[in-house]
Structure 1
Amino acid sequence: MSGLPHSSHALVTGGGRGIGREIAAALVRAGATVTVVGRHRPALDAAVAAGAAHFAEVADVVEQPAVHSAIAAAAARQPIDILIANAGTAGSAPFEKSDDALFRRMMDVNFMGVVHAIQAVLPDIKDRPCGRIVAVASTAGLKGYSYVSAYSAAKHAVVGLVRSLALELASTRVTVNAVCPGFTDTDLVATSIDNIMKKTGRSREQALADLSRHNPQGRLVTPAEVADTVLWLCGEGASAITGQAIAVAGGEV
């Protein structure tokens, strides 16, 4: 696998924890300058202090002006070559109990958050020698799951955006792809396990088994496995890979 373009600057939204932080750390190890963006300053500062990133900017991806300001500040230090649109959140409820507020929040964070980040980097990244845009979607963007119709709809929207934008940018030096993890060992899944326990009375082990059964390998995906896939897509050797939604899910999809 060929490495990253020389002296790349990567920006990772939702980079303070979970998959985003793991991706940021992998990019640092590969030689990139990395800026993490997120809502919570302490988590971002902790990532920088641990060497998982070089710089941090605070912004909620739902707020377009804040995202544009944060990305402009990062780009002023060094032009951005790589965008990892990772920030997201999950919410579960039966469809009949999924109100407009839940659908709006899932779309605002998981879809419009990606849109806002891409809008902010696109004018300049098109001029970079080797531009990369990677959205962290989900297997929920490739298939359905019970009780997460709003989340699944938002992630399907991300995959559709990636496929369309890749065609628009095919004549440039920018590739646009999505990675679609299955259930991954993060705080987000830990919260899902807590919810399953609360609603069903199952033990933690039973709740974990309920999520792990979706993966034919019978386990949770690790954040490092997702980061490795992202790193490959950002490398010079992946210049012919665009418009793809790559499942990291042990054969589930």
Structure 2
Amino acid sequence: MHPKSGGIMEHAGKHALVTGGGSGIGKDIAIALAQAGAEVTITGRRAETLGAVAAEHPRLHAQVMDVDDENSVRDGIAAAAVARGPIRICVANAGIAEGGPFEETSLAAWRKIMTTNLDGVFLTFQAALASLDAETQARMIVISSIAGVRGLKNAIPYAVSKHGVIGLIRGLSEEYMRRPITFNALCPGYVETDIVRNQLPGLMKRFDVDEDGARALIAKGNRHQKLLEVDEITAAAIWLCSDGARSVNGQTTEISGGQV
């Protein structure tokens, strides 16, 4: 059993969808939801990666989908809903992280991040909501970042995109207040995932440090100066999906080892 699923089949019979479910935070959340009884559609651009993850649990189902492409999102989520039912749990996790000085940021780079991190969430939520009738209970969660609640130098487009998805869930929580749907954001600090690991070579070269030194530099971005583990984010997501969180709506949960 996943360490955060508790062996409780709370989500038996529900259909969950996790974008970016082929690695990192998305993969871990998807596995936990499957072990809690949900039929989980995992989406991403690489069929081989998704297939390998889906093979890890019989309730994981691969769906090739690119959040940068409107038709891919709408058609992919509609097909998943036909196959496994309305999207009762939607985790908008797919995103990219790129940085650099603001004055050197091109409009193309800006738009690339907005398309994936903000437009992709808009499309995912809109398509998932279209699968629901007015009475169906649902949970919509976006994986934002501590960059969504504070400034982050040398990553302005990323920070703006993560601020944007928080505005999205706050607005949606008001618009759908009379329906049994909640919208919330998780805001992790620096997590031990491929996104962090991919930054290590550049930091090693820039600061003339070894891999441990580069990892320590990133960890300083968390208040307790340790990298977060993926299961910490999964635990928060599983709680937001639980019946006990049914009145938690329009909120941000910051996971960064201390006050942001």
How far residue 188 of structure 1 moved from its aligned partner, in angstroms, is 0.5
Cα 1:218/1:32, change in 2 over 3 Å? same
Match of 2:161, SS state, is helix
Cα 1:201/1:145, change in 2 over 3 Å? same
Match of 2:43, SS state, is strand
TM-score between the two structures when normalised by the length of structure 1: 0.95
How far residue 18 of structure 1 moved from its aligned partner, in angstroms, is 0.6
| Structure 2 counterpart of 1:79 | 86
CA deviation map 1:104-131 (0-9, x unaligned)? 1110111111011011111233535320
How far residue 157 of structure 1 moved from its aligned partner, in angstroms, is 0.5
Residue identity opposite 2:78 in structure 1: A
Which among 39, 55, 60 is matched to residue 49 of structure 1? Answer: 55
| Structure 1 counterpart of 2:3 | none
- 1:195 matched to 2:202: yes
TM-score between the two structures when normalised by the length of structure 2: 0.93
Cα 1:106/1:53, change in 2 over 3 Å? farther
Matched ranges for 1:2-151 at <5 A = 4-51=10-57, 54-77=60-83, 78-127=85-134, 129-151=136-158
Residue identity opposite 2:15 in structure 1: H
How far residue 183 of structure 1 moved from its aligned partner, in angstroms, is 0.2
| Structure 2 counterpart of 1:152 | 159
Which among 241, 245, 253 is matched to residue 252 of structure 2? Answer: 245
Question: Aligned residues: percent identity?
Answer: 38
Which among 205, 208, 213 is matched to residue 212 of structure 2? Answer: 205
CA deviation map 1:47-101 (0-9, x unaligned)? 1111285211111101010011110111001221111000001001011111111
Match of 1:134, SS state, is strand
How far residue 3 of structure 1 moved from its aligned partner, in angstroms, is 6.7
Higher relative contact order (CA 8 A, sep 6+): 1
RMSD after superposition: 1.7
How far residue 191 of structure 1 moved from its aligned partner, in angstroms, is 0.9
How far residue 192 of structure 1 moved from its aligned partner, in angstroms, is 1.7
CA distance in 1, matches of 2:202, 2:195: 11
Structure 2: unaligned runs, 5 residues or longer: 1-5
CA distance in 2, matches of 1:49, 1:221: 26
CA distance in 2, matches of 1:233, 1:126: 21
How far residue 194 of structure 1 moved from its aligned partner, in angstroms, is 2.2
Residue identity opposite 2:203 in structure 1: I
Counterpart contact for 1:183–1:220, Cα < 8 Å = yes
